[in-house]
Structure 1
């Protein structure tokens, strides 16, 4: 891993606090902030149109960098303003009719489930959760028994919002594809902390945000769409960027994933996202992933040794999110009391991952998510604070 002093110097926001919320909205490195602010200043000098035109090559390079990170061509990437927007733009373009079936993960995120329920209601389709196995991951045998030719789309979550398990995406995708179903992967909590190789995952579409583990600005995200599939889909909303007005009553969709983009966007934020992805590539993604995994595993082990603390993570493969509860304390209270000591964690509530939390009879959990810039001394400070609260 890169020198921790260099990482911390690149991340001014980490000084004076223990920051453990990269699963929520991480601290961006200095280059991301400088890139976004520089473009805003340029807009103030010459106006947004000219400033954007000066950066057309750089905007395309954002997609090139993302493509390098996930092993995809730049033409398969659409930039978006959030993971939810990217996910929804693809999901609402998939044709659905009466009696069609949508399968969702047992740990699916609320935004995805709500969209699925809305579309099913309007189309006469059904939404069915894929059972979890004893470890909490997607039950592949149950999925195999569920799929048939009526299943049109399978929504998979790579890493749930409320805990550190990693779902077996490639195996689930193979099962779904056997019956011709499309696979949409929510990689919101995995991009930037786990390897994402489109060829290995074999999904039809992937959505993620820029503000979490990638450490980009808020208001950014991207969508990957399998190239041969993109040519067959028409997004629910179009503009003069995603389509061309060819006659008084005709239009033509642009090629590739760009048909999922709108012309108006936050150029500064997108340039910041590109800077974040390039920063990760320069550090070496695998080294960053390993550093995150080491910190999360250390927290998982040490928290489990504190009396009155229960680690709530499930699964056989773990990611950078560590969820836990403390006997006699509401998670919100733990979060707020840690915040008073300049330790930042967050809370995952039942409504975000309703099916999983109901199945485990949990209303909320504390969520700690350390990035590579967090030192082990800071982790010790956090552990000590939790132990004090637990006692």
Structure 2
């Protein structure tokens, strides 16, 4: 069980804002702040290269922390600067051929779908959207019916940017494996919010960020690559870190997932990522999930009691992301009203998940995303603010 008072005492931001925007960027802990600021101070005092050398063991330990988070080996982890970079490195490394198919879901994030469309134009692949089931999540039965020997990739967003649902990733992974297709999981909104085990999920590739539910600094992310698929991938970018210049006309790729990394990165931010992962593991991901889910359920319940407020979440399993509208009040106006009261939310717009929001006839949505440091009193505060008009 989460010690909420301790969690809040270790989170400076809760003294200044009521933060319901963890799906955008969660509030960092004092430990993460001290780690990042401390290293930046060291760089200023002795130099960037020298500070990195002094932190070499701690930097190496970040791989072990990430591996424990995902239940894999450290050499299956590449540390990069964002979830977008991690996902792009994985996707654009796949050697698509004309006639290949990509299967995805209706709640796919815009950046991913744009990459599918670009690859369709460049490589002659076909992009097919798997229908939803009656609860709004990807239909595993429909997926199985659509899988054939032309499907090169099943690509799935685990937790969409809006809508609150958690897609049945492990069932998707099992179906993809049986069909011999690669499985790429966008776990940008799920890592740090719920337990993640790449063996149970059955994914070949997984991308995520640090800034959301992991509570790490912006400019951090990671990519998991299953060893069995590593040599079938062609990293789209290489430098002297991802590969070794072995002879004038030859280079050799780094062993393991680190071939997807590049030489330059923010050392302080990476150390902060390691500190954030260790803290999340210390709290316990099952306990984090249980508290986040309970707070989100409470928020949905309270919002539904407000006249004119409509909650737009779906899925058999619902996470810490809550989306809603208030009749007659634009989402941006709601965000501005709440911001004036030091309550942070975000706005999700149709282009972010175009297929889903178009199919459901939705416009801009207010997105309130909770974390374990939030409280029922803060839930009451945001609802009171929405009712006071």
The two structures share one fold, judged by TM-score above 0.5: yes
Structure 1 spans left out of the alignment, 5+ residues:
none
Write the deviation string for residues 339-391 of structure 1: whole angstroms up to 9, x where unpaired.
111111111110111110010011211111111111211111111112224xx
Structure 1 residue 188: deviation in Å? 0.5
Q: Distance between the aligned counterparts of 1:381 and 1:118, measured in 2? A: 44
Secondary structure of the corresponding residue to residue 68 of structure 1: helix
Q: Distance between the aligned counterparts of 2:278 and 2:176, measured in 1? A: 33
Q: Distance between the aligned counterparts of 2:90 and 2:129, measured in 1? A: 20
Q: Distance between the aligned counterparts of 1:357 and 1:272, measured in 2? A: 35
Q: Are 1:231 and 1:256, in contact at CA under 8 Å, matched by a contact in 2? A: no
Q: Are 1:231 and 1:255, in contact at CA under 8 Å, matched by a contact in 2? A: no
State the match for 1:256 in structure 2.
256
Q: Are 2:2 and 2:291, in contact at CA under 8 Å, matched by a contact in 1? A: no
Q: Are 2:95 and 2:234, in contact at CA under 8 Å, matched by a contact in 1? A: no
State the match for 1:349 in structure 2.
349
Q: Are 2:11 and 2:28, in contact at CA under 8 Å, matched by a contact in 1? A: yes
Q: Distance between the aligned counterparts of 2:231 and 2:256, measured in 1? A: 6
Structure 1 residue 44: deviation in Å? 1.0
Q: Distance between the aligned counterparts of 1:244 and 1:281, measured in 2? A: 34
Q: Over aligned residues, Cα RMSD in angstroms?
A: 1.0
Structure 1 residue 56: deviation in Å? 1.6
Q: Are 2:2 and 2:372, in contact at CA under 8 Å, matched by a contact in 1? A: no
State the match for 1:109 in structure 2.
109
Q: Distance between the aligned counterparts of 2:378 and 2:17, measured in 1? A: 8
Write the deviation string for residues 53-90 of structure 1: whole angstroms up to 9, x where unpaired.
11121111111111111111111010010001000001
Q: Distance between the aligned counterparts of 1:141 and 1:315, measured in 2? A: 16
Q: Distance between the aligned counterparts of 1:130 and 1:266, measured in 2? A: 38
Secondary structure of the corresponding residue to residue 177 of structure 1: helix
Find out whether 1:196 has 2:234 as its counterpart.
no
Q: Distance between the aligned counterparts of 1:232 and 1:153, measured in 2? A: 13
Find out whether 1:278 has 2:282 as its counterpart.
no
Structure 1 residue 109: deviation in Å? 0.5
State the match for 2:16 in structure 1.
16
Secondary structure of the corresponding residue to residue 58 of structure 1: helix
Q: Are 2:94 and 2:232, in contact at CA under 8 Å, matched by a contact in 1? A: no
State the match for 1:66 in structure 2.
66
Q: Distance between the aligned counterparts of 1:4 and 1:271, measured in 2? A: 25
TM-score, with structure 2 as normaliser: 0.98
Secondary structure of the corresponding residue to residue 282 of structure 2: helix
Structure 1 residue 212: deviation in Å? 0.3
Structure 1 residue 178: deviation in Å? 2.1
State the match for 2:335 in structure 1.
335
State the match for 1:143 in structure 2.
143
Q: Distance between the aligned counterparts of 2:313 and 2:166, measured in 1? A: 10
Q: Distance between the aligned counterparts of 1:22 and 1:216, measured in 2? A: 11
Q: Are 2:177 and 2:202, in contact at CA under 8 Å, matched by a contact in 1? A: no
Structure 1 residue 231: deviation in Å? 3.0
Write the deviation string for residues 240-287 of structure 1: whole angstroms up to 9, x where unpaired.
111000101100001100001001101110000000001111122222
State the match for 1:90 in structure 2.
90
Structure 1 residue 234: deviation in Å? 2.1
Q: Distance between the aligned counterparts of 1:175 and 1:130, measured in 2? A: 13
Find out whether 1:125 has 2:128 as its counterpart.
no
Secondary structure of the corresponding residue to residue 185 of structure 2: strand
Find out whether 1:173 has 2:173 as its counterpart.
yes
Find out whether 1:56 has 2:70 as its counterpart.
no
Alignment of 1:209-220 (within 5 A): 209-220=209-220
Structure 2 spans left out of the alignment, 5+ residues:
none
Secondary structure of the corresponding residue to residue 388 of structure 2: helix
Write the deviation string for residues 16-56 of structure 1: whole angstroms up to 9, x where unpaired.
32110000011000111110111111111121111111112
Secondary structure of the corresponding residue to residue 373 of structure 2: coil
Q: Distance between the aligned counterparts of 1:290 and 1:80, measured in 2? A: 29
Structure 1 residue 289: deviation in Å? 1.5
Count of matched residue positions in the alignment of Structure 1 and Structure 2: 389
Secondary structure of the corresponding residue to residue 85 of structure 1: helix
State the match for 1:268 in structure 2.
268
Q: Distance between the aligned counterparts of 2:295 and 2:12, measured in 1? A: 20
State the match for 2:240 in structure 1.
240
Q: Are 1:185 and 1:207, in contact at CA under 8 Å, matched by a contact in 2? A: yes
Secondary structure of the corresponding residue to residue 368 of structure 1: strand
Secondary structure of the corresponding residue to residue 292 of structure 1: helix
Write the deviation string for residues 78-123 of structure 1: whole angstroms up to 9, x where unpaired.
0010001000001000011111111121100011111111111100
